[in-house]
Chain A
Amino acid sequence: MSDPRRTSARRRIAERRAAEAAARAAALRRRRTVVGGVVAAVLVLVAVVVVVVVQTQRTQTSPAAAVPAGTTDGGTAVALGPDDAPVTVDVYEDPLCPYCARIEAAAGDTLEQLAADGAVQVRYRTIAFLDRASTDDYSTRALNAAGVVVDAAGVEAWLRFHDALFAEQPAEGGPGLDDDRLVELAAQAGATGAEVERGIRDLRFADWTEQVTDAASRAGVTGTPTVLVDGEPLPAEELTAEGVRAAVEGAAP
């Protein structure tokens, strides 16, 4: 009945229309993908910029931040021994670092003796980068307390407080010594009074703890303990009383 030529013409038209519709749909999908991609890229870019700005502000410490009296080298060190000692030993340690406590037990007295003899100047650089290894930011609190002690009572008291911190070092992973205990240890070391207690509890030198920790990072220190004898790092196996003594004698002119 029907004209076969008309049928095939209709079919061709229908096919062409379907192809056009498919092409339009594909173009629309492509456009949506492109628009979506551009929007997503812009969002990520904005997020990056916002986070960089926010984090930069969070890490900013006031350049006028209080620095404890009794420290040297821009507040980054507490020095034992004379400034004109022939050898300088820099000791980077974190109050929570277990290996530091062992070094202190093994070689701490030797270093103090060498400093007292005038053979070296020991520059203790206590830093706080193990905050996440305790549940209560112990490194920062202990370092701040040490700052309060040296500020209020001087280097001798600081040294007693420092030794007490390592003698009573808490285990990693749990809470550190609480503020009450830090206040007690400070008093035993010779730093007493309401001002000291407030300084410890209110983190008076919080900005300073960040600054000295950042300074160590800038100096290339990536682990504690790091002991430098005239700037040269002492290998781990030489971090003993004999090792330190030998390194100091070797460095002496």
Chain B
Amino acid sequence: MTVVRRAQPWLSTAARLLLGGVLVVAGALKLPDPAEAVRAVRAYRLLPEGLVGPVAFGLPVVEVAVGLALLAGVFLRTAALAAAVLMAVFTAAVASAWARGLQIDCGCFGGGGEVAAGETGYPAEVARDVALLLVALALARWPRSRLALGGPAAGVREPARV
């Protein structure tokens, strides 16, 4: 038990870096080519045309913001929960595209959602998103971590009673 307790802050740090790194990279890759981002969101055929643009342009900013908070270690629990919500939404969207038999790429790391004929990668995409969802939930449950700018610092006990 003590081993786990001592390792937990470092595990949480690893989770922060993994999740935060993935989110920052994924968000940043969607920014250089906005027309591509629009096509990727439209390819899911889930949103009315009026919402496609705002989602395609706004979502990467949210990803980057949540990712930076996780990397820096500020507002950790909130950021972890936000990451979990993002991953749940992504998983649901990809699963629905899969279930409807759409031939698209998830556009997770940029790209316009296009795939060459018959080259969809749904199982891997869903597996990755579910794994990251679990990491985010674990981080929300155990947010105390090393190398964090804010939040409950690891190793420091709850405010000592004088």
Binding site for B on A (CB under 8 A): 15, 18-19, 22, 25-26, 36-37, 40, 44, 47-48, 51-52, 55-56, 58-59, 97-99, 129-132, 210, 213-214, 217-218, 220, 222-225, 236, 239
Contact = CB atoms under 8 A, between A and B. Distances in A.
B117 A22 contact: no
Contacts of A25: 159
Nearest to A214: B35
Nearest to B118: A236
A186 to B, nearest CB: 25
A10 B58 CA distance: 60
Contacts of A58: 34-35
Interface stretch (B105-113, B121-129, B138-146): B105-113
A222 B61 contact: no
Where chain A touches its partner, the secondary structure class is helix
Contacts of A59: 34-35, 38, 53
Contacts of B113: 222
B45 interface: yes
Q: Which 4 A-B pairs have the closest CB atoms?
A: A55-B34, A55-B57, A236-B117, A18-B162
Interface of B: 31, 33-39, 42-43, 45, 49, 53-54, 56-58, 60-62, 65, 69, 74-75, 78, 102-105, 110-118, 150, 159, 161-162
B116 A223 contact: yes
Contacts of B36: 129, 132
A47 B74 CA distance: 18
Given A58-B34, A217-B43, A218-B42, A129 B61 contact: no
Contacts, number: 97
Given A129-B114, A236-B118, 6 more contacts: A22-B159, A44-B62, A97-B116, A129-B112, A222-B113, A223-B116
Contacts of B75: 36-37, 40
A173 to B, nearest CB: 14
Contacts of B65: 44, 47
A217 B58 contact: no
Contact of A132 (B33, B53, B60): B33
Contact of A48 (B49, B58, B115, B150): B58
Given A48-B61, A214-B39, A56 B116 contact: no
Given A40-B75, A55-B34, A222-B114, A129 B54 contact: no
Contacts of A40: 69, 74-75
Nearest to A98: B116
Contacts of A131: 33
Nearest to A221: B114
A19 B160 CA distance: 11
B121 to A, nearest CB: 13
Nearest to B32: A132
B111 A52 contact: no
Nearest to B60: A51
A15 B53 CA distance: 59
A223 B39 contact: no
A224 B33 contact: no
B61 A47 contact: yes
30 contacts: A19-B162, A36-B150, A37-B75, A37-B78, A40-B69, A44-B61, A44-B62, A51-B31, A51-B57, A51-B60, A51-B61, A52-B57, A55-B56, A56-B53, A58-B34, A58-B35, A59-B34, A99-B117, A213-B35, A213-B39, A214-B38, A217-B38, A217-B112, A220-B45, A222-B39, A222-B103, A222-B105, A223-B117, A224-B114, A224-B116
A51 B54 CA distance: 9
A222 B111 contact: no
A56 B162 contact: no
A175 B123 CA distance: 32
